[in-house]
Structure 1
Amino acid sequence: MTEEDAPADALREAAYGIFEIILNKELKRRGSYLFDRVENGEDFSEDFREIFSDFSADYPDLAGALNNDPAVIDGIYTKICEGEGVLPTKTELMYWIVQDRTGYIPAPDEDEKAGKWLIFLDKDETDEMWVKIRNATLKGLLGFSAKVSTAKENPDSRDERFVIYVYTHDWSNEEEVMNIREELKKLGVEQRIGYKRNIETYHGEYSTPGKKVTYYSI
């Protein structure tokens, strides 16, 4: 990659991430989540093209970064139908898939109080576990949000495995944190996992040999 290519690639990545957020929200407004449509084998190409057309009108520079060529847009739609943005091992256009609890609205001081359970998984375990955690998060059985790393190579990653984060509102509310851990066990997360506070992440503190930054470990 040349130095000239890097800004274009970064803009393309950002543009796709913004488009997929809009796509998810608009598809839900029209009836059901993106993942529901993909997993049910639904043909939602008309909705997809209408949403991309609106995206192009509202954000012409971002749409241009994705290339307005119909063949390219059809290619994105095909990739989504194959699992892009739905299954972590099939996602190559963005680093994370995120799912919030139904009705979730961020609180002003949430970032400082929040924390997350970290679940590291091998590739062959990841898709199935993500679907379980995603669905449980939507139903309000876990925390306020969950996210999973994807097959897109991340230069900032410190582990070759996939990782799922399950967020809770308040790291100091041990009862809430442990209740969510019990729910994760019911979903099949039986191995020991760690819980990390957001404040450690914001301070750039990560586990290294001889140093652990997890607040709970069960």
Structure 2
Amino acid sequence: MEEIDPESLAEIAYGIFEIFLDRELCSHGPYLFELLEQGVDLGADVHEIFGRFREDYPELAEALLLRFGSIDTIYAQLLAGEGVIPSKTTLMYWIVQDEPGPVTRGVDDERAGKWLIFVPPDDMDEAWRKVRDETARGMLGISAKVSTARPSPESRDERAVIYVYTRDWADEADVMRVRERLRGIGFVEQLGYKRNIETYRGEYSEEGKRVTYYSA
């Protein structure tokens, strides 16, 4: 098995810890992003939850401490928007927001698909806020994610991209329900919908080739 360098491991660990932290907080209250935006002091919570994270994932916890030096420094990253605000995030390629409830809920990846929203980098924070909030309320699809300020070697466009996932590409009524909700929060331009199976096959739109399954 190829060994991961400490820097890369710390970046992976940060993303996993943020998911862990969010789920722990959500088990008895609001989402992490809501608490941060409300200015709630989470210092004690971060310390306590990091202790549990360290018990479950000791290697990842040590990688974080090696990179950042202390739990307070990790918390400072959160306060600065790392992993919360796309334009402020450089440790991760994506920020993800799932719908409320159990994460899995029997999702078949090959049945799922997503609406693709491309926005200029200057607009990505506000666009993501709209999609994130609606997803967190259970008003959109099963999940959403946004590209961040971290340059991606796989990027095909200078714009930021937001994916809004639905459970089943064949459920046209649900796919179009999500599209109408997106239109209702300001995404009125034509959008394309791509099935995951095309993504898994490595199929992308290019001149003379269209891989979007729906367009609306």
Q: What is the TM-score with the length of structure 2 in the denominator?
A: 0.91
Cα deviations by residue, 1:49-104 (Å, 9 ceiling, x for unpaired)? 11112222332211111125874432221121121121111111111111111114
Cα deviations by residue, 1:97-149 (Å, 9 ceiling, x for unpaired)? 11111114425462111100000111221111111111111222111111111
How far apart, CA to CA, are the structure 1 residues paired with 2:16 and 2:83?
Answer: 12
Task: Note the residue ranges of structure 2 that are not aligned, 5 or more in a row.
Answer: none
Matches within 5 A, 1:141-152: 141-152=139-150
SS for the counterpart of 1:111 is coil
How far apart, CA to CA, are the structure 2 residues paired with 1:11 and 1:154?
Answer: 17
Task: Note the residue ranges of structure 1 that are not aligned, 5 or more in a row.
Answer: none
The answer (yes or no) to whether the contact 2:68–2:74 under 8 Å persists in 1 is no
How far apart, CA to CA, are the structure 2 residues paired with 1:199 and 1:147?
Answer: 18
Instruction: Indicate the residue corresponding to 1:9 in structure 2.
Output: 7
Cα deviations by residue, 1:158-181 (Å, 9 ceiling, x for unpaired)? 222111111111111212111111
The answer (yes or no) to whether the contact 2:113–2:195 under 8 Å persists in 1 is yes
The answer (yes or no) to whether the contact 1:104–1:144 under 8 Å persists in 2 is no
How far apart, CA to CA, are the structure 1 residues paired with 2:141 and 2:28?
Answer: 26
Matched, 1:25 2:23: yes
Matched, 1:36 2:34: yes
Decide which of 209, 213, 216 is 1:215's aligned counterpart.
213
How far apart, CA to CA, are the structure 2 residues paired with 1:39 and 1:108?
Answer: 32
- Cα distance, 1:29 vs structure 2: 2.0
Query: What do you get for the CA RMSD once the two structures are aligned?
Result: 2.0
How far apart, CA to CA, are the structure 2 residues paired with 1:7 and 1:88?
Answer: 25
* Runs of 4+ off more than 3 Å: 68-72
- CA 154–69 in structure 1, closer or farther in 2 if over 3 Å, else same: closer
Instruction: Tell me which amino acid in the other structure corresponds to 2:65.
Output: N
How far apart, CA to CA, are the structure 2 residues paired with 1:97 and 1:215?
Answer: 25
Instruction: Indicate the residue corresponding to 1:57 in structure 2.
Output: 55
Instruction: Tell me which amino acid in the other structure corresponds to 2:29.
Output: G
Q: What is the TM-score with the length of structure 1 in the denominator?
A: 0.91
How far apart, CA to CA, are the structure 2 residues paired with 1:33 and 1:69?
Answer: 26
Matched, 1:136 2:134: yes
Cα deviations by residue, 1:170-199 (Å, 9 ceiling, x for unpaired)? 111212111111110111001111100011
Matches within 5 A, 1:78-157: 78-108=76-106, 110-157=108-155
Identity %: 55
Instruction: Indicate the residue corresponding to 1:73 in structure 2.
Output: 71
Aligned residues: 215
Instruction: Tell me which amino acid in the other structure corresponds to 2:14.
Output: Y
How far apart, CA to CA, are the structure 1 residues paired with 2:67 and 2:96?
Answer: 28
